[in-house]
Amino acid sequence: MQINIARMFKSFACTLGLVLTLVPGVVQAQSTVATTASSAAPAALPVLTDVKAVDPSAAAIKKTPDALDNPYGLEALWKTSDAVAKTVLLLLLIMSVGSWYIMIVKVLEQAKMGRQAKAAVKNFWTAGTVQQGAEALEKNSPFRFMADAATNAIKKHEGLMGHIPLNDWMAMGIQRAVDRIQSNTQGGLAFLATVGSISPFVGLFGTVWGIYHALTAIGISGQASIDKVAGPVGEALLMTAIGLAVAVPAVLAYNWLVRRNKAVMDEVRAFSSDLHAVVLGSVAKA
């Protein structure tokens, strides 16, 4: 019995030693497998991310709205501005449209007067009488207007007006016609001068107003980074640029049209002087 117990104890000790010998190998094998699995798993992730990156439609869908929406343009300025800023923009638009309209109309009028001056030189002085020469000109011609004024002055030289010497009376009648013509040629130039003078200040007012509101909004939000400041302040500065864009063409057009008016009025005054002499000569012969 004692022998059996000893044998049993010896076999139990051998079995325990074998188990203790095998356990570290199993644990090491399990850790090796886990390490291999964990190292192999990330290798598959770049493949998945590469597959998503290769898809061009997803990238296009994400980038397209950002590319189309411009937060720093005129559209953003109009949408984000208040009633005062919009009123300033509308005033600048009205001044710009009015300036270009006057420029086009005045250029056409001056070109027409130049053609009428050539027609007067060609047709009026070859006529037999002042009345026939006037009828040879266009009805809306300023040169015909002066000829009609001279003939009407002769007809009205009676009564109290008859006490005025005919030379002076004729000069007064023709000069009134010249003044009327010059007044018509000056039409619209005052608007151009006004636009050229005040539109930069109107744009500057819009800029000051926009910067005030932009800085107020930045102060309330507490974010003063460059992306928060550049947009509102840049949009406000557009007001000054728009004001200058309205003013510069108006000033240039004003100076150019004034010079063209001077050339046209020189033709009118030369015609009026010759007309005065011709009318007095025809009255003396009669």
Q: Which residues of 253-262 are buried (b: 16+ CB within 10 A; e: fewer)?
A: bbeebeebbe
Residues 134, 142: contact at Cβ < 8 Å? Answer: no
The DSSP secondary-structure symbol of 140 reads T
Euclidean distance between CA atoms 168 and 174, whole angstroms? 10
| pLDDT band of 22, cuts 50, 70, 90 | very low
How many Å apart are CA 247 and CA 96, to the nearest integer? Answer: 8
Residue type, 246: V
Rounded CA gap, 77 and 242, in Å? 12
Interval 107-165: pLDDT, tens: 999 999 999 999 998 888 888 888 888 888 888 899 999 999 988 888 888 888 877 88
- Residue 224 binned pLDDT confidence (cut-offs 50, 70, 90): low
